[in-house]
Amino acid sequence: MKRLIFLSFYTVIGAAVCFSILSCSNRTKTSEKAVADSSKLEAASLKDSVGSAKFPPLPIDYDKTKVLENMYVVDRAGVEFRQGAAKDAPVLGKYPYGTKLDIIGEEGEWFAIMDRIQRDYKGANGETGDITQWEKVYVAKSKLGKQDKITISPKELNSIVSINVNGKETYYEKGHALDQYLHLELIDEQTFLAAQKTAKDYLIKDTLSYTKNGKILELPLTNGKKLTFTDKDIDNELESRFFYKGHYDFLNAFAIEGNYWESADVRLFDRQDGHLIVECGDYPLFSPDLKYLVTLHADPYESTGDLQLFHVKQGKVTPMVFISFKEWMPTWKPELMFWGKDGSIYTAANHVNGYWGEDGSLSDRAQFIRIKILKH
């Protein structure tokens, strides 16, 4: 399974560090300039394969163009963007549902959008290639709206980009409907909150029992030995920091959070001899009957919702299925992810294009999902 980026184990304190960096995945304006400079543009004659005399390309100066507001594509079929503010203007492409757009003006029923457009060109000496420049393009106003209109639809719940079963991983570049292992459904907030009252966390949080001695964390094992973790507090790919989060009596296991250069995990170690029981991509949630373990994780790099499901039996934790969902990401709030008394998994979630708020921070809005394990 691809890497799992850890936003929070039990608190969200450390998450704020990465949020401002990761929010660049939104289409916010930066100081970035067009790949080609003005002199290169002057030397190149754009081969306007989709243009016309009536609707010529509209290059703009990125640094001198003001973004008035951001709007989002709210039509689930997406919206075409055109070279002019008219229905007969050449179509340059299509923005998918949820795309964040930079509005720089409006003309009648059309919004003017700032975007980078790639075109073919032919130089003065006959050389050919392509060039990318900032241009003004147009989309229909009726297809755009505010971010709160971006939601998960029932059909999108089961769309996945990858699945790993028994160590065999399958990717679906254009998405694939999950039709086994799990059943997902959208539920209302009242149903979610009622189930939340039945949730139980089996972790015993005795974090003060074992504290670090400088950069060293030592945990005593019942066989008389010690389980030792040493921080590497350096600013490169060798960085690692470890934290004791508590233990599980029923599994006789220590829970250790590890934070690394570009990843993290939660690992459970046997308290008798220190062997690794399981490595999780996020906070482990155990089912009421203690037969299953699940983790839910929002991957801000891939913009996927990652779910790991394990089977638990006689102290052994065995992988069952790991799935990356294409259209939604679970909440960053750990208290809004739990296993209900009814044997279902519950989580708050947002559409991948609504996960970040208007200001680039994490959105406080949420929809609610119930996940049931199917017999197989």
CA distances to 22, 52, 92 from 355, in Å: 11, 39, 28
Q: Determine the pLDDT at residue 376.
A: 66
- What's the pLDDT at 344? 97
State how beta strands 128-140 and 304-313 pair: unpaired
Nearest CA among 196, 177, 178 for reference residue 187: 196
Q: What is the maximal distance between C-alpha atoms in the chain?
A: 84
Query: If 0-12 CB within 10 Å is exposed, 13-18 middle and 19+ buried, where does residue 1 land?
Result: middle
Percent of the chain at pLDDT above 70?
86
- Euclidean distance between CA atoms 106 and 92, whole angstroms: 18
Measure the CA–CA gap between 359 and 47, rounded to whole angstroms. 38
Evaluate if residue 16 carries a pLDDT over 70: no
User: What percentage of residues in the chain have a pLDDT greater than 90?
Assistant: 73
Of 14, 147, 161, 137, whose CA–CA distance to 82 is shortest?
Answer: 137
d(CA 246, CA 254): 6
Check if the beta carbon of residue 170 is closer than 8 Å to that of residue 162.
Answer: yes
- Residue 289, pLDDT > 70, answer yes
- pLDDT attached to residue 126: 82
Q: Please report, as a single letter, which amino acid is at residue 210.
A: Y
Euclidean distance between CA atoms 226 and 219, whole angstroms: 5
Residue 52 binned pLDDT confidence (cut-offs 50, 70, 90): low
* pLDDT, position 218: 97
Average pLDDT over residues 171-176: 94
Task: Please write the tens of the pLDDT for every residue from 112-167.
Answer: 999 999 988 777 888 888 889 999 999 999 999 999 899 999 999 999 999 999 88
In Å, what is the CA distance from 265 to each residue of 29, 42, 259, 276, 285?
33, 52, 7, 13, 14
Q: What is the pLDDT of residues 72-115, one digit of tens each?
A: 999 999 999 999 999 999 999 999 999 999 999 999 999 999 99
Mean pLDDT, residues 272-299 taken together: 96
The 10 Å CB-count burial string (b at 16+, else e) for 341-355 is eeebbbbbbbbbbbb
Q: Which of 254, 366, 262 is nearest to 305 (CA)?
A: 366
Q: Give 313's pLDDT tier (boundaries 50, 70, 90).
A: very high
pLDDT tier for residue 6 given thresholds of 50, 70 and 90: very low
Give CA separation, 196 vs 152, 193, 336, in Å.
Answer: 21, 5, 8
Instruction: Please name the residues in contact with 238: beta carbons below 8 A apart, sequence gap of 6 or more.
Output: 232, 261
